[in-house]
């Protein structure tokens, strides 16, 4: 197995982040400094910054209802609440989990966390076209042209890109439901701003096959075996 994949499977980080750690010379295989492209066997001892890592017996996947005010970060000295402190140890089992797709501080809703770096990579890869669904409320009455423009794609000047066509359904004078298959930085807020609208509330209700269902704000739970199996299958992975 490639060293970066091994590190991802161990839950250390994503494959891309693993390559960065390897380049920085903090990864060793049997005491030798690893290089990108190295292969590892079951019998090899791999360490990151002097700490031995190993494949987990079973990966963990968690659904979390992030409240407004929680920051998606492992460390942030300026944040009052960060996501890494919000998931109880009885849910994580003491394992280090990472989120697959962040929500900004002022947004709420479903976030998936896992110790499987391969799953994170698959979920985050834009070309996989995985769906994420949101409920949005804005400050002004929506026009038919606003909904049409969002459906067809909007040019975002700050990012110099056009958003991918998406499904949008108006649910009220100032509210709509939107399903995206990409995850640009603050995408929905930027789309609304380009139309002269300001987001007042934003909630992610679904990620691929997973929904908030009866999950309460701030609560988290492990996925059922069937949910986990479907999620892995939709990502082209095997448990």
Domain hosting 227: range is 61-126+213-234
pLDDT-based confidence at 96, cuts 50/70/90? confident
Top-ranked range on mean pLDDT: pick from 1-5, 65-69, 233-237: 65-69
Looking at residue 228, which CATH number applies to its domain? Answer: 3.30.70.580
pLDDT-based confidence at 228, cuts 50/70/90? very high
**Residue 229 burial (CB < 10 Å; 0-12/13-18/19+)?**
middle
pLDDT-based confidence at 3, cuts 50/70/90? very high
Mean per-residue pLDDT over the chain, rounded: 93
**Is 218 found in the same domain as 179?**
no
pLDDT tens per residue across span 28-65:
999 999 999 999 998 899 999 999 998 877 889 999 99
- 239 domain residue, yes or no: no
At 79 the pLDDT is: 81
- Final residue belonging to a domain, choices 53, 72, 95: 53
Ranking 23-32, 67-76, 148-157, 228-237 by mean pLDDT, the lowest is 67-76
Looking at residue 176, which CATH number applies to its domain? Answer: 3.30.70.1560
- For 68-102, b where at least 16 C-beta lie within 10 A, e where not — what string? eebbbeeeeeeeeebbbebbeeebbeebebbbbbe
pLDDT-based confidence at 73, cuts 50/70/90? confident
- 185 domain residue, yes or no: yes
Catalytic residue annotation: 104
Separation between Cα atoms, residue 40 and residue 29, nearest integer Å: 8
**Is 150 found in the same domain as 110?**
no
pLDDT tens per residue across span 136-182:
999 999 999 999 999 999 999 999 999 999 999 999 999 999 999 99
**Where is pLDDT greater, at 231 or 95?**
231
**DSSP letter, residue 141:** P
Number of domains in the chain: 3
Query: Radius of gyration of the chain from Cα atoms?
Result: 20
**Is 34 found in the same domain as 140?**
no
**Is 83 found in the same domain as 36?**
no
Looking at residue 23, which CATH number applies to its domain? Answer: 3.10.290.10
């Amino acid at each position: 197995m490639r060293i970066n994949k091994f590190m991802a499977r161990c839950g250390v980080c994503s494959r891309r982040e693993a390559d960065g750690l390897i380049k920085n010379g903090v990864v060793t295989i049997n005491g030798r400094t690893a290089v990108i492209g190295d292969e590892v066997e079951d019998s090899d001892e791999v360490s990151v910054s002097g700490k031995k890592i190993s494949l987990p017996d079973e990966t963990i996947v968690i659904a979390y209802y992030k409240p407004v005010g929680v920051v998606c970060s492992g460390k942030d000295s300026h944040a009052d609440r960060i996501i890494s402190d919000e998931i109880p140890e009885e849910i994580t089992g003491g394992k280090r989990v990472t989120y697959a797709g962040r929500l900004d501080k002022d947004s709420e809703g479903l976030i998936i966390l896992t110790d499987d770096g391969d799953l994170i990579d698959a979920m985050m890869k834009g070309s996989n076209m995985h769906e994420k669904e949101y409920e949005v409320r804005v400050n002004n009455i929506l026009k038919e042209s606003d909904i049409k423009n969002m459906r067809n794609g909007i040019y975002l000047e700050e990012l110099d890109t056009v958003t991918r066509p998406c499904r949008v359904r108006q649910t009220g004078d100032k509210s709509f439901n939107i399903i995206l298959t990409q995850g640009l930085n603050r995408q929905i807020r930027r789309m609304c701003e380009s139309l002269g609208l300001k987001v007042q509330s934003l909630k992610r209700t679904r990620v691929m096959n997973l929904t908030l269902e009866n999950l309460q704000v701030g609560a988290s739970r492990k996925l059922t075996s069937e949910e986990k199996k479907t999620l892995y299958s939709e990502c082209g992975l095997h448990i």
